[in-house]
Structures are given as C-alpha cells and as structure tokens.
A and B are shown apart, each in its own frame.
Chain A
Amino acid sequence: MPFNRKAHKFNASINEVEIGTGDKAIKLGGENTFPFYSFDGSLGSGPKIGVEITDLGLDAEPEGVKAYYAGCNTIGEIAKKAAEMPGGDFVVLRLAGGDPNGANKSVDDLVAVAKEVADAIDTPLVVEGCKNVEKDADLLAKVAGALQGKNILVMSAKEENYKAIGAAAGLAYGQKVGAESAVDINLAKQLNVVMTQLGVPASSIVMNTGSAAVGYGFDYTISTFDRVRAAALGQDDKMLQMPIITPVASETWAVKESTAAEEDADEGWGPVEARGISMEVQTATACLVSGSDAVILKHPESVKTISRLIRELV
C-alpha cells in the first residue's frame, strides 16, 4: 500500500505581531501548525532570535561575549554591534540595573539608555524590565513613551503591573506588550484576558509564559508551551493565540553549569564557556521545538548555532 500522507490542518493560527519599523521590521508568529511542522502547514515567518544586551555593560559577561563587543565603549555602540550579530533578528535591552536590590539606577537614567539604544540601531527593539514589579510599572511605561513610533516590544507586564505597562505601551503609545506569566496555561490566559479587557488589542500582545534553564524545572516550561499551542490551534482559543517569546540567556547563564570555573567543577565538565554555550543552545532548541516563536540569546556562538538550526528546519 502506498504511503498516503495526510496533513493535520487547524482552523486557527497564531497571531502575527510585527515589531520594529521599515525594512528591518520583523513578524513574530503567524504559523498555523505545530513547531517546524512545515509539511502540515505554514510556519509564518519562522522562529526569530533576539540578541540580549544590558545596561550593566560587559564586565560580568563571558569572554566570548566580551570579545565580540571589543572596542565598544557606549551602550549605543554595544547595541549597534548587537544588531549586526550574524543570525540575530532583533535586539533585546534588559534594564537589569533598575533593580532596587541591585544597582538601583533611576528611571530617567534607564530611559536615556533605552533612547540611546533605540537611536543607535534600525533593527527591532525589545525592552525588558528589572523584574521588580513596582519599578517596572513606572520604568517600562516611561520607556514606552520615550520610544513612541519605534514599535518596540515592551516585556514584563505581569499580573501585578499589567495595568500600568499595558495602558502605556499598548494603549497610549502604540507599542507591543509582552505578557509575562509563571509556567501555567491558565495564568497565561487569564493575563491575556485582563490585558485585552483593558483595551490592549490581542494583536499587540506577545506572551512570555515563563522560562528556565534545562534541568531546572524546565519540563514545566515545555509542557506549558505544548498546552498553550494545542489550545490555541486545536481549540481556536483566541486568548492563547499570541506568539511566545522566551528569554533564554538570562536563565541559562545564571546556573552553575554555566558559571562554575573549571577548577571548581566536577571532573569532565570541561571549559566554563563551552558549557554556558551548550546550556544556552540546548535550552533555546527545546523552547523552539515546543512552541516558542522567539528566543532571546546573548552569546554569538549560540546565536550562530540556533540561527543555523532554524535555517535548516524551516
């Protein structure tokens, strides 16, 4: 009997959300099938890669990252170089210095950083907060205002501060909004519901349903992607049809596999930087094949590897 291939068709698709302006603008989402199932349907414009930089500079970065940005002195120069990283599609500015328990930089200072970055690049920009919900509410609302017209994606709107961030980014300044929830399909959907009830169009929302490094409760991350995609496509659940963006670098470069010096690590672990890249690549790959539409990375090697993976599979 000849093999008769039947395509699995869905009567639903993931929203297509555009970020950035002009020629370099990109679209997230748009697929109407499972990850990389190009034999069954359309993958939209395919998975995308963001290159992460932070306002804290390069001092704490791995050697390979430092080497890539060698010669860059200002955040604007760093951003420009990030935008040029081979395989990257957009730049992600993480305003980690705003953390009141860390550097605690002022909102005005950080807004200035964001402006400098935005002015230095023509690729799309994603801005992440400092993970403190009160500070982020103020900071990200002001960033959204300052960068009006750039069509940026403002991440880190959570249940506690979605009103401030959603109203500023999604309503007042016409930016895109990233809705962040904690590895639970119901919590992800609930945030999308309240966000749309606030008036933010569903087509302006991108989800961050939670992330982790492989081996660190990562199975929850993966099963959440899985279930969100199944509900979005299989049940045509409009409140789960937002594309998913997943910060990977900020998770994987913080775990001991990526930080323990070779002399402190168990025998056979090998050089620290190679381990860090491996963690980043493994995590990003697993995210993409489970339903994430974009991953945020920082090491040039990882970006190169993942972009090749995408190129080969799409």
Chain B
Amino acid sequence: MYKITFVTEEGSRTEAFANDGETILSVAQKSNVAIDAPCSGNASCGKCRVKIVSGEVDSRQTRHITDEDFAAGWRLACASKVIGDVTVEVPDIASAYKSRMRVADLSSPAELKIFRDATDQVKKAGIEYRNNMDVIEIQMDAPTLDDTRPDNERVADAIEEKTGIEKVRLPYSVMRKMAHVLRASDFHVKCVVRTTAKNVFVYDMLPASVDVVIGGLAVDIGTTTVSAVLLNMKTGEILGKASSGNGQIRYGADVINRIIESQKPGGGRRLQDAVVKETINPLIQEICRAAQFPKNHIYRMAVAGNTTMNHLLFGVDADPIRKEPYIPTFFKTNSLFASDIGIDIHPDAHIILAPNIGSYVGGDITAGAFISMIWNRPEMSLFIDLGTNGELVLGNSDFLVSCACSAGPAFEGGDISCGMRATDGAIDAITIDKETMEPTLSIIGEEGQKPVGLCGSGLIDTIAELYVNGIINPKGKFVREGERIRHDKYGMGSYVIAYEKDADSVKDIEITEVDIDNFIRAKGAIFSAIRTMLRQLELPVEVIDDVYVAGGIGSGINMKNAVTIGMFPDIPLEKFHYIGNSSLTGAYSMLLSGDAERKVYELARSMTYMELSTVNTYMDEFVACCFLPHTDSTLFPSVKLR
C-alpha cells in the first residue's frame, strides 16, 4: 500500500491509499477526486493531465504531453501507475471541464430570440402557457373559545371556501410551520397551491404581507452539459439562467462509460452526487443568488434529459439500459419530489420529467420534438438534436419515428484539443484564404477580444474551410504544407488557427488531425443515422421539407459548411432552421403549461423508436460517412473544392 496525496490548485488535499500498479486515475475516481477523463482512461484523449509534485510514478510519455511538460512533471493520470508514495497536483476541474463546455442557456440575445420564436410557434398551435400553480390569499378568523377548530381545519375550510374544492392536502412541511405563521400574520396568509379537479395541495404558507413569486426550474441535463432556467410560474418571465458541464464527465464522456462506472461499488451514488450535488445544486445556488430569489420558493421543476441521465439523476440502476434487450426501469414517472433526490429547492416540489421513449431516445428528444413542432405539419420534417448522443425524429402530423446515434462530445467542444463553449473568446466562425492559408476569425466578445478556442460552429467552419481549400484531404489528413501547418514527432499534422502571441492563451490555438478525426466521426454518426433511417422507411432524401437543428452547438452554425462536411443532407439551405436548446425550451414549456406537458406525453406515446444497432447496414453507412463530405460524392452535388 502506498499513500497518494491529491492536491488541487486551490490547496485542498485528499489522501488515498493504493496498491502497486493501480493507475492514478482509478485511485482518484475511488477517492472522489475530480479528474477529467472523457475517454475513461484509454490514454487516447489526453485530458487527464496531472502534475507529479513529489514521488515517482511509472508513466510513459504520450503524444499529449510535450517534452517540456513531461520534464516539469506532467503525466496522464490514466497512464501513470503507482510505484510508491506520491503527491499529485490536480488541475482545477472547473477550468478543466466545466468551462470548456458549450451549452445554449439563453444567455445571448440571439438565443433568447430563438427561444421566443419557438414558444410563439407553440402558442400559435393552440398550446396555452397556463398551469395549476397559484397563490391564494386567505383571511381567517382567529380562534376563540367558541371557535375551537384546529389550525389545519381552519386553513382547509378557508381554502375550500376560496376554491370550492373540498379536499385540501397540507404536507408535513406546512403543518410544522403553520401555528407560527398563522399567529404571526393575524391569520392572514398566502398559500402556494396546486389545484386539480379533485384536490388542493398546499406547498407553502407565508404571511400575506410577503410578496410571493412562484418559482419554477427548467433543467436540461445533457451528457456533457447541464443548463437551467428559473422562471416565474405565473408570468413565464425568465428570472435567471445558468449552465455548466455535467459533473459526471470525469466518470466517462458517454452514457455507456457512465453506466459502467455506476456499476462499481458506490458508483450509483457517486454519479447521482455528481449531477445533483456538484452540478444542479450549484447552478440553483448561482441562479438564485443572481436573481435574489429564495431557493425554497421554487415549487416545481421540469427535467429533460436522456434515459441514462434520468436514471442516474434518480439513482436508479441504469445497467439494463446497455444490455440486450435494453429495457430501462422507467420511461416516465410522476411520483418524484425534490427531497427524494436532494435537489436544493422546496422539498415538496414536484419533478416533472419529459418522458423517455427508448433506452437511447430520452426526454430531451420528446421535449425537443415538441418544440420543433414537426408534429403539427403535414409536410415531412426532420428534427436533429446535436449532442453527445445525436438523436433524430422524422415525421409529420401523421407519424413520428425516432432514432439515436452516439456522436460523442465533439459538438459541445469536448474531445477537441482547442474546444470550448461559445463564450467570450470562442472562435464561432472562420474563413481561410486559399493561397496564403491565413485565417480570418470571428470571435465572441467585445471589440479586441482575443481568441481562446473553438466552439462547435467554429469547428464546423474550420474543417469545411480546411477541406474546400485542399489543406486537408477528405480523410481529414493534412496534404498541404505551409507556415501554419505543423507535424509533431509522431507525424500528426495540425493547423495553427491563432499563434500564442495573438491569442488569450498560454499556447497556440491549433486543430490537430485527431481533433478533425473525432469530429468526422461525430458528423459521420449523424449523417449515417439520417441515411439509415430514410433507407429503413424507404424514403428519398428529397422527401424532407424542413430540417430543425437543435443542440448546444451555437446559434451561429453555418448550414452551408455543415453540408460541405457532409453532416447534413445536401438540400436547399433555406430548409434548415436552428431552434436552439430545444430540450431546455421543452422543459420550460412543460413546466409552465399543462397543455404542453400532456402534449409531450402524447408525442412520446405515438413516436416509434428505431434501434439503429440492429440495422445491419448502419456500420457500413457509418464508414462511408467518415469522409469529407462522403465516400459517395454524388450525395453532395453542391460541394465543390475552391
């Protein structure tokens, strides 16, 4: 047994013991020390860098670590075996993975406009944004020796008089404070209630003098990113918003790795804590602090996430999801409350869940398909959610078919060496001169902002520009030489987008062949899913009238470039529409509108789920798609080299 001491940049220390030969990464995971490991410890992604402060580890140098960094003690945690006592410095996880994650969280005017347009469309379809949450004010007579009703009957009678509903439910949290609140307010109180045809549920009781706003929280739980908005349940007004990386990332980049991790001893609890305690609760804290809103005035929460995320959120065994015949514990449930899973809002707050429809098509898609409105049109439309899992829904007002493919975190900036979220410093668009190979960058932020990295839309542009200018071949390998093209000692090529001196970074911003390869696989997964789905339905691509693209990739996505790299079918560009983070917008709608909630459930019931892994041509199609734009170039007649 050796002693391993983890030290973070902020100075916190964790001590752990390990056997000879264990990797630093596995020791860290067991001790709940956050090290970013998207590839689950295969030494392929290079994200789990740690610095050896004292002691020795048995570690080989990989291409991810330069000679200088290696000499300075930097190692990959997954490729470092324990051979003695050691002290390891772990980079701050917030900067390591949370900050580089991109998610549309309605923080820019452009995103907000997309959000408003989407909800307007929903309203036009006759969905009313109305719900059964309300604040009722009641004035009761104070008890006397002649009027000896206990407090709870007094309140129930007053509520019945006000609402006409006989059955009033007063939960423990209200019972406990009732005596005090009633007497402090001279029996003049406000009650936060949910009214159904049969009963009235009282969430809270406050003195009438208090201004009560019923808060609601809509949360999109993505495999890579989580975003949340706080809203006023009566007016629909957005009171606050925030987003961050999903704290589960350190346990693997995709759902399969997360499920595997959850099967280790204590794993289910660790993954639940990572999303609840380390991700959602801090977001709530951040939002409520900024909006000066009391956390326990959030009385309802709506969650949209994929099936695995839902299971891990609720602490339910997710293992059957990945094993044939792929049956999850639940598709939908309406019996969950915030206190069940430790969400830091009102303990009785009901959690509304966008229903899952398959092991790999979850609530994020039912919520998103609802927002895309493809169910309300006779024309055939395609809804695409670009996330770690790419999901598709094809159909119209008569039928809907969905399928899912694993695209990896590339669209959200994960697995890309210079990837980041679309915040200040992100390159969101780029053009490259054919002759000089010099780039022209568009950078998010104020005038004079220096580039930091590439967000999803910038990544699509970069690869499309490198390709049409003949700088990379259709396999994504560099075929031209120039000042900005480099090759490392392992022969891997890269293109310098911005030199260190011009960038707000400690190193050059460059895109490598590995980054390009990761992205080509991601786009290949999407397009092969589209092709396979159409082929299974025996429909030609021309049948698609509109394509609705959702996801956290950035609103500035250049659809022409997305077609150029073969991510989307080569149909007229005006048919493409970006609808933002439709999962979050869907959760927002379900929270605010009983109509919307019912409609999403109806969509989930009527959607057919197609399992691509059982279609034997999918893999073949995928290999054909891992090429720019496609091995069959006749599918992309509009794509021309410059």
Give the B-binding residues of A (Cβ under 8 A): 159, 163, 184-187, 189-190, 193-194, 197-198
Q: Which residues on A sit within 8 Å (CB–CB) of B623? A: 184, 186-187
Q: For chains A and B in complex, what number of residue pairs have CB atoms within 8 angstroms?
A: 30
Which residue of A159, A184, A187, A198 contacts B479 across the interface (Cβ within 8 Å)? A198
Which residue of B473, B477, B620, B633 contacts A186 across the interface (Cβ within 8 Å)? B620
Q: Which residues on A sit within 8 Å (CB–CB) of B474? A: 190, 193-194, 197
Q: Are B631 and A194 in contact (CB under 8 A)?
A: no
C-alpha gap A187/B624 in the complex (Å): 8
Q: A184-B623, A197-B473, A197-B474 are in contact. Are A190 and B479 (CB under 8 A)?
A: no
Within 8 A of A (CB), among B596-642: 620, 623-624, 626-627, 631, 633
Q: Are B627 and A186 in contact (CB under 8 A)?
A: yes
Known: A185-B620, A190-B475, A193-B474. 18 other contacts (CB 8 A): A159-B475, A163-B479, A184-B623, A186-B620, A186-B624, A186-B626, A186-B627, A186-B631, A187-B623, A193-B627, A193-B631, A194-B473, A194-B477, A194-B479, A197-B474, A197-B479, A198-B473, A198-B479
C-alpha gap A184/B623 in the complex (Å): 9
Q: Are A189 and B475 in contact (CB under 8 A)?
A: no
Q: Chain B: which residue is nearest A237 at the CB level?
A: B632
C-alpha gap A184/B626 in the complex (Å): 13
Report A164 CB to chain B, min CB distance, Å.
Answer: 11
Q: Which residues on A sit within 8 Å (CB–CB) of B626? A: 186
Nearest first, the 4 A-B pairs at minimum CB distance are A186-B624, A186-B623, A194-B473, A186-B631
Q: Are A194 and B620 in contact (CB under 8 A)?
A: no
> Which of B475, B477, B623, B626 counts the most A-chain CB atoms under 10 A from its CB?
B475
C-alpha gap A296/B114 in the complex (Å): 63
> Which of B626, B631, B633 counts the most A-chain CB atoms under 10 A from its CB?
B631
Report A159 CB to chain B, min CB distance, Å.
Answer: 7
Q: Please encode chain B, from 189 to 233, with 1 for each CB lying within 8 Å of some chain A CB and 0 for all others.
A: 000000000000000000000000000000000000000000000
Q: Which residues on B sit within 8 Å (CB–CB) of A185? A: 620
Q: Chain A: which residue is nearest B641 at the CB level?
A: A197
Q: Chain A: which residue is nearest B624 at the CB level?
A: A186
C-alpha gap A185/B632 in the complex (Å): 11
Q: Which residues on A sit within 8 Å (CB–CB) of B627? A: 186, 190, 193
15 of the cross-chain contacts (CB-CB < 8 Å) are A163-B479, A184-B623, A186-B631, A187-B623, A189-B631, A190-B474, A190-B475, A190-B627, A190-B631, A193-B474, A194-B475, A194-B477, A197-B473, A197-B474, A197-B479
C-alpha gap A307/B17 in the complex (Å): 69
C-alpha gap A197/B631 in the complex (Å): 13
Q: Chain B: which residue is nearest A195 at the CB level?
A: B473
Report B629 CB to chain A, min CB distance, Å.
Answer: 11
Q: Chain A: which residue is nearest B633 at the CB level?
A: A193
Report A124 CB to chain B, min CB distance, Å.
Answer: 30
Q: Chain A: which residue is nearest B491 at the CB level?
A: A134
Q: Which residues on B sit within 8 Å (CB–CB) of A197? A: 473-474, 479
C-alpha gap A193/B477 in the complex (Å): 13
> Which of A163, A184, A186 counts the most B-chain CB atoms under 10 A from its CB?
A186
Q: Which residues on A sit within 8 Å (CB–CB) of B477? A: 194
Report B65 CB to chain A, min CB distance, Å.
Answer: 22
Report B491 CB to chain A, min CB distance, Å.
Answer: 8
Q: Which residues on A sit within 8 Å (CB–CB) of B631? A: 186, 189-190, 193
Q: Which residues on B sit within 8 Å (CB–CB) of A194? A: 473-475, 477, 479
C-alpha gap A185/B633 in the complex (Å): 15
C-alpha gap A186/B475 in the complex (Å): 12
Q: Please encode chain B, from 469 to 497, with 1 for each CB lying within 8 Å of some chain A CB and 0 for all others.
A: 00001110101000000000000000000
C-alpha gap A185/B619 in the complex (Å): 12
Q: Chain B: which residue is nearest A194 at the CB level?
A: B473
Q: Which residues on B sit within 8 Å (CB–CB) of A189? A: 631
Q: Which residues on B sit within 8 Å (CB–CB) of A187? A: 623
C-alpha gap A93/B631 in the complex (Å): 33
Q: Which residues on A sit within 8 Å (CB–CB) of B479? A: 163, 194, 197-198
C-alpha gap A187/B625 in the complex (Å): 10
C-alpha gap A307/B208 in the complex (Å): 102
C-alpha gap A197/B475 in the complex (Å): 11
Q: Chain A: which residue is nearest B623 at the CB level?
A: A186
C-alpha gap A193/B630 in the complex (Å): 11
C-alpha gap A193/B623 in the complex (Å): 15
C-alpha gap A159/B626 in the complex (Å): 13
Report B174 CB to chain A, min CB distance, Å.
Answer: 64
Report B467 CB to chain A, min CB distance, Å.
Answer: 11
Q: Chain B: which residue is nearest A187 at the CB level?
A: B623
Report B641 CB to chain A, min CB distance, Å.
Answer: 9
Q: Chain B: which residue is nearest A197 at the CB level?
A: B473
C-alpha gap A194/B479 in the complex (Å): 10
Q: Which residues on A sit within 8 Å (CB–CB) of B475? A: 159, 190, 194
C-alpha gap A193/B624 in the complex (Å): 12
C-alpha gap A187/B627 in the complex (Å): 9
C-alpha gap A198/B479 in the complex (Å): 8
Q: Chain A: which residue is nearest B473 at the CB level?
A: A194
Q: Please encode chain B, from 458 to 475, with 1 for each CB lying within 8 Å of some chain A CB and 0 for all others.
A: 000000000000000111
Report B566 CB to chain A, min CB distance, Å.
Answer: 12
Q: Which residues on A sit within 8 Å (CB–CB) of B620? A: 185-186
C-alpha gap A73/B263 in the complex (Å): 65
C-alpha gap A197/B472 in the complex (Å): 11
